[in-house]
Amino acid sequence: MDSYTDFSIFYDHFMDDVPYDMWGEFIREQLLTYGVQEGRVTCDLWDKESIEQPLVLDLGCGTGTMTEKLASYGYDMIGIDNSSSMLEIAKNKEESSHHNILYLLQDMREFELYGSVRAVICVCDSINYILELSELKQVFRLVDHYLDPGGLFIFDFNTDYKYKEVIGNQTIAENRENKSFIWENYYYEEERINEIKLSLFIREDEGKRESGLSEDESISLPRDGEEARGELYRKYIETHHQRAYQLEEIMEALEETGLELIRVYDDYTCEKVHKESQRVVVVARSG
């Protein structure tokens, strides 16, 4: 299971088209619908006020964008990720927002908590980074183990239709000021493994503002319509692998590991899943 390294520093810059606000509202609605209420003020027998905040785990939290969003709704958040550089960025966000979030550097296939939680979320196709069905079942077992009775598990995954028919064997490139990337995608249909070779080109003065990057090579690129002026760009390379899962596999794995399937949705909408769904959202519950 790959960790984000170089790309983590610029992850939020290149993923700014991900509709986290819409996803967050959808997750919030599901949590409220199935009884995971937001933080509220309560009083004890001596009229002392306190705030009750349901504990929610963000599994594969990355740079903490969704973790922060749910914290802003009033949930007590834990974030788990296996990339230390992604978690560093998440912690910087926490310092700015002043949310009290516990971030843990752990692999989701063997994560540990000190107690149970009311809900677990796992977004942005983190599930697809689990390359073996047996390991996915282990993740589900751990989720069920750490959920309160009746606790919710909300996650999404990319479908085999998306890998095969939409992104397939394609190359995607994007050029931005000071930053560019080339995304080479290869889908191995028999193994149902999607390989992403990501090349980042970051202008040196931009890269110097960040830390923790391992250099690969340097090139000088001119701006449009200008001759090269010795501007130095550094190239960083990462390779990622994801597995395409079918909904039937997911449903069987949930049942086998003790989780009850409640609903499935086409992406973060209330629409039904269909044969051309590219992202499926699953809502399940602990027994």
> What pLDDT sits at residue 222?
47
Find out whether 102 and 79 touch, Cβ atoms under 8 Å.
yes
Which two three-digit tokens encode residue 182?
């080339």
Contact (CB, 8 A) for 88 and 212: yes
pLDDT in tens, 75-84: 999 999 999 9
Q: What is the pLDDT of residue 59?
A: 98
Instruction: Give the pLDDT of residue 119.
Output: 97
**Domains of the chain from N-terminus onward:** 6-159+245-286 (3.40.50.150), 162-242 (2.20.25.110)
**Cα(161)–Cα(248) distance, integer angstroms:** 14
User: What pLDDT does 218 receive?
Assistant: 44
Q: What is the pLDDT of residues 92-104, one digit of tens each?
A: 999 999 999 999 9
Nearest to 154 by CA among 18, 23, 20, 27: 27
Residue numbers of the chain with a pLDDT score lower than 50: 2, 41-44, 48-49, 207-222, 226-228
Per-residue exposure over 65-87, b if at least 16 CB sit within 10 Å of its own CB, e if not: bbbbbbbebebbbbbbbbbebbb
Q: Which of 137, 123, 138, 158 is nearest to 244 (CA)?
A: 158
Do the Cβ atoms of 59 and 80 come closer than 8 Å? yes
pLDDT at residue number 200:
82
